[in-house]
Structure 1
Amino acid sequence: MSLAQRLMRTKPADLIVAEGGRGEGGELRRTMSLWQLTLFSVGATLGTGIFVILGQAVPKAGPAVIVAFLLAAVTALFSALSYAELAGTIPVSGSSYSYAYATLGELVAWVAGWCLMLEYAVSVAAVAVGWGQYLNSFLRSLFGWELPAAIIGSPGQDGGVVNLMAILIVVLATWLLLRGASESATANVVFVLIKVVVLLFFCVVAFTALRAGNFTPFAPMGVAGITAAASQVFFSYIGFDAASTAGEEAKNPKRDLPLAIMLSLAIVTVLYVLVAMAAVGAMPWSDFDPESTEAGLAQIADLATGSTWAGLIVSFGASIAIASVVLTVMYGQTRILFAMSRDGLIPRVFQKVNPRRQVPVANTLIVAAFISVLAGLVPLGQLAEATSIGTLFAFAIVNVGVLVLRHRRPDLPRSFRTPLFPATPVLGAIMCGVVMAGLAGVTWVAFGLWMLLGFACYFLYGYRNSRLNAEVV
């Protein structure tokens, strides 16, 4: 085979499914129900945008941030439908990496996997950064004292040295993950229920202070402002695909994965729109400060009630519930690396399974160490946009993958079919491109450098150690 043929060689979908669950030293255990899978995706999604990013998006779009959330949701929906089809067809842990391997070839699969590394690791770090701010808000409201600035801020930010609180939440999530997939899923159910209750509580409180005048002018920055805000709040939808990383630990993956993906997106969209509407209705959009937004919902709750008890509840719920995002997205990161390692594209240590716990222990510890460094040293804003572009690129690949697999393997059994095919995946890929175009130039430069590093890693290690290439005579 020529170099080009090797790079574009696909791995048969049947083989990918047959290898599911197998690692070095043991197998992953199928324990997750539809309810747990749905809440896994909700846990990975709900909280990132509302608790952390909302305040940065409002100054860009004004009250029309509500439309920005809907635009981002529609963009996510097209890709979610494509994810649902491929998850039901190829129910394994690799998510878009495995889907690309079956449809577009090894090099594109590597690109997808490399983008997912950026998406998952950076989104965990970004949320961990915001967690420290909510914890601080809670302590300030309850006890009247704050954590030292040196341990809750990134270097160069308001006296920050190392964000130890961000590192702490990563360590706690790691401990849960090492206990097993079933235990992690149970903990996540508790976290998600707390988070939903807290957000609904915020809506009730904020709607009591709603003023119709806060919604005029509705779109002061015009369409350009809405698009820019949508590009940023798209970060808040990252995670609906988390269920697709649990394909090898789901009890009934072909049925449950597509349902979990679609249900989770519907749940978070309704909550996001309600919270955005309540927030803007309770506080004029011009009062949102993009420089101090990490604990924005708690501040709005305080303003709405004229006291600190409501903000205290929001801060408490957020400081506990944001842990579910860290937990579930870290889980997804380890399972994608597990699949890439099984194919030989990254070192074998990532596919080693502990025979007693039936989890990839070394993989989890390495991921935790990397995320801890990122969360402790890099500011939130830069992390959020870097995550969006990697995610959108991976989503675009999944949309194209649906088109290719329908053409090449129409015979494959599919538990879910994307409606209005081929319009849906085509629109999904186009919408991803539109939102990507709204990101800042510096984000594109950072993404380009990340991809150059990825290609270097692939050709220095992945290409040489690929199991698929080793089979070529």
Structure 2
Amino acid sequence: MSPTPTGLRIKSPESLIAESGADLEGHGLKRTMGLFQLVCFGVGAIVGTGIFVGLSDTVAEAGPAVIVSFVLAAVTCIFTAFSFAELGGAIPVSGSSYSFAYATLGERIAFLVGWCLLLEYGVSVSAVAVGWSQYLNELLDSLFGRQIPAALSAGPGDGGVINLPAVIVILMAATLLVRGIRESAGATAAMAVLKIGILIAFCAIGFSAFQADNLTPFMAEGVGGITSGASLAFFSYIGFDAITTAGEEVKNPRRNIPVAIMICIGVVTLLYCAVAVAAIGALGADEVGNKPAALSLVVDQVTGSSVGGGIIAFGAVVAIASVVLAVMYGQTRILMSMSRDGLIPRTFERVSPRTATPVANTWIVATVFAIPAAFASLDVVVNLTTIGTLAIMAVVNVAVVALRRSHPELRRSFRVPLYPLSPVLGIAMCLYLIWGTGWTTWVQFVVFVAVGALVYAFYGRRNSRLGAVTPPTAGAAPVPREG
């Protein structure tokens, strides 16, 4: 294997796996999730605000060519999914991309990846919760003809004062998460099945009123619109990597993690393209674009009744709640891994002896990210989440190449096809979509990363357990050979 660069703190894959099995607090995580639950967990983390709420914004950017935007976003995810599958099978621990970066690119990059994961998981919880609030009002209007007043169901940027429903759904998810992973996984599986059924029913209704003329002119907004639409559509796919955060609670993780990732990406891509075609084919891009709760609007228009729209709204409320649950789960497990390494306070690694869950960690996450959910605009949190996730995925593709070079004999239950072309294309696609987010988002992201670098310099590096007990060249421990 290649030697570790001088001065670069890298933790070996073997060390990461050994520590994930160590019972640091006397009460470790339990392996209770099978493949079906893991796939449902992945679908639960992906399908939510992006398709139920974000579809209208994506259509407004790309027009009928939004289908191409979804495919571009999916291709980006597929290349990166290959990388996540290889790394998740080789290093089946809870830290996901943070742990992968620690094993390949060093502690500083790993910390910044963990910092950016606050955008992918933490801030996205806020975005998803805001979307949940919109569909809750749509459901209440369908059932009772009334909505929660704007002052109490939207933040200042959206014409309100505080978004109480968004805060409530985050607190509900936290309550379920601290009860135990078995209960959380069961609830997520049930909600995943329900929302897939709702979206399939939507497609059936939309295609019943399909008009081919609504898809022309197909590229009304040009290539630029497709690119911007793909950057927005990418938000709809965020969450598939949450599967790798369950590495310590999955049965047979080396097999089940790669398989679950591939199944989730395939199912979700087909579903999204079908929903987009059905929606635009039924009403046209102008009607669908920039309309909150667009799917309910389509069903109401096609059926001539608010009943169908109410059913879609109910499905959206359930679907988006499951995303909050799954994404919060992922965030707490990443913070747990960072805490084990000493890069953030030890509070985040403590596991309850009664529920085998990180209780304090979960409530801290819920409290911190309920604040932007209560007061921030959906557009702001979506853009930041998207660019942070794309940056992380670019790093994961780099990590695959680095791990192949440094640990070529490491046991891998899945290998990236067409290596090294696949990870290189994954990096290129991530950078392409980052370009589409716009300069305002770039500036916000640079500032966010700069703050993270300062936090690492003044806290993380000084408190790192790897730095305290090993020399800079540590981490190059022997690894098991293939087979």
Shorter-chain TM range is over 0.9
Contact 1:25–1:354 under 8 Å retained in 2: no
- What's the Cα RMSD here? 1.2
**Corresponding residue number in structure 2 for 1:273:** 273
Amino acid at match of 2:122: A
Amino acid at match of 1:103: T
| In structure 2, C-alpha distance between the alignment counterparts of 1:164 and 1:370, rounded to whole Å | 15
- State the Cα deviation string for residues 77-122 of structure 1 (Å, max 9, x = none): 0000000000000000000000000001011111111111111011
**Corresponding residue number in structure 1 for 2:110:** 109
Amino acid at match of 2:341: D
Please list, as runs of the form range in 1=range in 2, the aligned pairs for 1:34-73 lying within 5 A after superposition.
34-73=35-74
1:296 alignment partner, one of 294, 297, 312: 294
**Corresponding residue number in structure 2 for 1:354:** 352
Please list, as runs of the form range in 1=range in 2, the aligned pairs for 1:251-270 lying within 5 A after superposition.
251-270=251-270
Contact 2:299–2:309 under 8 Å retained in 1: yes
Please list, as runs of the form range in 1=range in 2, the aligned pairs for 1:29-428 lying within 5 A after superposition.
29-158=30-159, 160-290=160-290, 293-428=291-426
Tell me how far 1:145 sits from its aligned partner.
1.0
Tell me how far 1:289 sits from its aligned partner.
4.3
| In structure 2, C-alpha distance between the alignment counterparts of 1:176 and 1:156, rounded to whole Å | 30
Contact 1:97–1:113 under 8 Å retained in 2: yes
Amino acid at match of 1:254: R
Tell me how far 1:8 sits from its aligned partner.
2.5
Q: Secondary structure at the match of 2:54?
A: helix
Tell me how far 1:5 sits from its aligned partner.
6.3
| In structure 1, C-alpha distance between the alignment counterparts of 2:242 and 2:431, rounded to whole Å | 22
Contact 2:394–2:426 under 8 Å retained in 1: yes
- State the Cα deviation string for residues 357-388 of structure 1 (Å, max 9, x = none): 10000000000001111111111011111001
Contact 2:58–2:289 under 8 Å retained in 1: no
- State the Cα deviation string for residues 14-36 of structure 1 (Å, max 9, x = none): 00001114442410111010111
- Aligned-pair identity (%): 53
| In structure 1, C-alpha distance between the alignment counterparts of 2:26 and 2:392, rounded to whole Å | 30
Tell me how far 1:294 sits from its aligned partner.
3.4
Is 1:464 aligned with 2:462?
yes
| In structure 1, C-alpha distance between the alignment counterparts of 2:210 and 2:94, rounded to whole Å | 44
Tell me how far 1:321 sits from its aligned partner.
1.9
5+ residue gaps in structure 2?
472-483
| In structure 2, C-alpha distance between the alignment counterparts of 1:116 and 1:206, rounded to whole Å | 36
Tell me how far 1:197 sits from its aligned partner.
0.8
| In structure 1, C-alpha distance between the alignment counterparts of 2:395 and 2:380, rounded to whole Å | 24
| In structure 1, C-alpha distance between the alignment counterparts of 2:439 and 2:152, rounded to whole Å | 31
5+ residue gaps in structure 1?
none
Tell me how far 1:48 sits from its aligned partner.
2.6
Contact 1:194–1:317 under 8 Å retained in 2: yes
- State the Cα deviation string for residues 409-460 of structure 1 (Å, max 9, x = none): 1110000000110100111111101110111111111101111110111111
- State the Cα deviation string for residues 287-315 of structure 1 (Å, max 9, x = none): 2342xx43111011101111111101100
| In structure 2, C-alpha distance between the alignment counterparts of 1:320 and 1:81, rounded to whole Å | 29
| In structure 1, C-alpha distance between the alignment counterparts of 2:288 and 2:470, rounded to whole Å | 59
Contact 2:86–2:400 under 8 Å retained in 1: yes
Amino acid at match of 1:429: I
Q: TM-score, normalised by structure 2?
A: 0.95
